[in-house]
């Protein structure tokens, strides 16, 4: 993960290097700076953190950001501070992060955690339990051996013996989050060799934290995207609800498949259509089932989860990729406040399966996006 100072756009447009991830959404939910329907100031700022880009569209309320003296740079700083704080605590790349210290510890040792990291571990344990282990932040050694880890160049499938050995290191039952005492939070490692990587949930948590900071500024509305994870609230620049475009799974290019318009909340998507490897001459999905130690066969092309928390939506999207449509939809129907859409491979096309409440959030695509 990297750190960079947030930067404001000077011409009302997103900088070229970070424009793509918001472009489709902007076409669905916002207006141009000269739109005659626009009555409130629209701020567009962007930056880098957690090894990815972030983009914010904020709609000023009368007497809000501008009236209260908070500048466009102040908006950027509010987002950047929250993202960088999570990065410092939960990055596996920073040697002094809380997570890195835990990973260096031995079985039986405890590691002090901040309240924020403890809450993320607690949520990860909850989703791991509810999903029957389909979401598991300790799966890293298996991801590496199949060639999908950072810097991994492995192009051969592991032997059954090696897979079973690594599988014995995996599982959230190999750690214990101790009850908080006097505002002190501790995490104990129970299994030697266990490694914890919260990247499948920490980014969503960081989005939630940044969104809370934005909501404290009394904006008329905001739309925040961090590496493809989204939180939004209030009104779009047009004065209506935000519309979020969901991409069609494509290896090359980008195209909107459909749009949703919830009142507010978060959208997280997971997919395998841009991440796969040739292993022993066969195409292998990057989605590893933590329960078997093998890549998921016939994995969904993508899963999109909508709900109030980006952190939980982030973790659920990963779990549903492993579970598949049948078991995944059962889980999402049991998870209050969350809905999901599966895009499934069907020959050279895709079919959809959705949870019971997802259809009610769908809206028509503007003609320009078809």
Instruction: Establish whether 314 is an annotated binding residue.
Output: yes
Instruction: Establish whether 200 is an annotated binding residue.
Output: yes
Task: Give CA–CA dist 94/109, Å, rounded.
Answer: 20
**How is residue 344 written in tokens?**
């499934």
Cβ(98)–Cβ(89) under 8 Å?
A: yes
Instruction: Establish whether 149 is an annotated binding residue.
Output: no
Per-residue HEC secondary structure of the chain comes to CCECCCEECCCCCCCHHHCHHHHHHHHHHCCCCCCCCCCCCEEEEEEEECCEEEEEEEECCCCCCCCCCCCHHHHHHHHHHHHHHHHHHHCCCCCCCHHHHHHHCCCCCEEEECHHHHHHHHHHHHHHHHCCCCCCCCCHHHHHHCCCCCCCCCCCCCCHHHHHHHHCCCCHHHEEECCCECCEEEEEECCCCCCCCCHHHHHHHHHHHHHHHHHCCCCCEEEEEECCEEEEEECCCCCCCCCEEEECCCCCCCCEEEEECCCCEEEEEEECCCCEEEECCEEEECCEECCCCEECCCCCCEEEEEECCHHHHHHHHHHHHHHHHHHHHHHHHCCCCCEEEEEEEECCEEEEEECCCCHHHEECCCHHHC
Q: Which parts are annotated binding residues? A: 200, 314, 318
Q: Which parts are annotated binding residues for Mg(2+)? A: 200, 314, 318
């Amino acid at each position: 993960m990297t750190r960079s100072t947030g930067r404001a756009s000077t011409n009302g447009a997103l900088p070229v290097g970070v424009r793509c991830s918001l472009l489709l959404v902007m076409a669905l939910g916002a207006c141009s700076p000269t739109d005659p329907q626009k009555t409130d100031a629209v701020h567009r700022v962007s930056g880098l953190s957690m090894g990815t880009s972030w983009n914010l569209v904020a709609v000023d309320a009368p007497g809000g950001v501008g009236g209260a003296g908070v500048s466009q740079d102040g908006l950027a700083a509010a987002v950047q501070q929250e993202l960088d704080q999570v990065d410092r605590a939960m990055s596996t790349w920073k040697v002094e992060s809380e997570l890195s210290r835990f990973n260096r510890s031995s079985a039986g040792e405890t590691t002090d955690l901040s309240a924020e990291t403890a809450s993320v571990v607690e949520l990860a344990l909850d989703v791991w339990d509810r999903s029957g282990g389909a979401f598991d932040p300790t799966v890293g050694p298996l991801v590496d051996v199949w060639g999908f880890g950072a810097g991994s160049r492995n192009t051969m499938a592991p032997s059954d013996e090696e897979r079973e050995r690594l599988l014995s290191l995996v599982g959230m039952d190999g750690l214990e989050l101790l009850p908080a005492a006097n505002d002190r939070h501790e995490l104990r490692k129970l299994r030697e060799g266990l490694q914890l990587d919260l990247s499948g949930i920490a980014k969503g948590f960081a989005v939630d934290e940044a969104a809370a900071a934005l909501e404290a500024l009394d904006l008329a509305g905001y739309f925040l995207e961090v590496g493809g994870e989204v939180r939004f609230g209030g009104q779009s620049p047009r004065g209506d609800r935000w519309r979020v475009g969901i991409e069609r799974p494509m290896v090359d290019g980008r195209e909107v498949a459909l749009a949703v318009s919830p009142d507010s909340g978060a959208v997280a998507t997971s997919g395998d259509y841009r991440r796969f490897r040739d292993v022993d001459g066969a195409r292998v999905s990057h989605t590893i089932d933590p329960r078997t130690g093998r890549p998921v066969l016939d994995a969904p092309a993508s899963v999109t989860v909508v709900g109030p928390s980006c952190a939980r939506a982030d973790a659920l999207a990963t779990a549903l990729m492993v579970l598949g449509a049948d078991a995944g939809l059962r889980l999402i129907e049991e998870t209050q406040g969350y809905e999901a859409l599966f895009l499934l491979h069907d020959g050279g096309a895709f079919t959809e399966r959705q949870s019971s409440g997802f259809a009610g959030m769908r809206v028509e695509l503007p003609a320009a996006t078809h």
